[in-house]
Amino acid sequence: MDRFDDVVIITDRVLRTKVNYVHYNPVKAGLVLNPEDWKYSSARNYMFGDHSIIEVNTKWDFEFEKVFASGRKS
């Protein structure tokens, strides 16, 4: 088993990249078509302000649709 890489997150860009990576894991694994479809994902928080599973506090105004427009499936 490979060891994970730890990265110091010092910019909003790096933080967004890491959040995107985590949100897309269930999609890459073939478990859902879109990040927001994964029940335990915070993707819905960022996209729709849905805090029904977990409250997520963000320090940036994340434009999820623009970020995922090219990768989302219908």
In a domain, 3, yes or no: no
**Is 34 contained in some domain?**
yes
What is the extent of the structural domain holding 57? 12-68
What is the pLDDT tens value at each position of the chain, 74 positions in all?
A: 566 676 666 777 777 888 889 999 999 999 999 999 998 888 888 777 777 777 776 655 555 545 555 555 55
Burial of 15 from C-beta contacts in 10 A (0-12 / 13-18 / 19+):
middle
Give which of 61, 18, 22 is closest to 41, Cα–Cα.
22
Q: pTM for this one?
A: 0.60
For residue 6, being part of any structural domain is answered with no
Please tell me the total count of domains within the chain. 1
* Contact between residue 60 and residue 16 where contact means Cβ atoms under 8 Å apart: yes
Listed as own residue / partner, the contacts of 12-17 with beta carbons closer than 8 Å and 24 or more positions apart are 12/59, 12/60, 15/60, 16/60, 16/62, 16/67
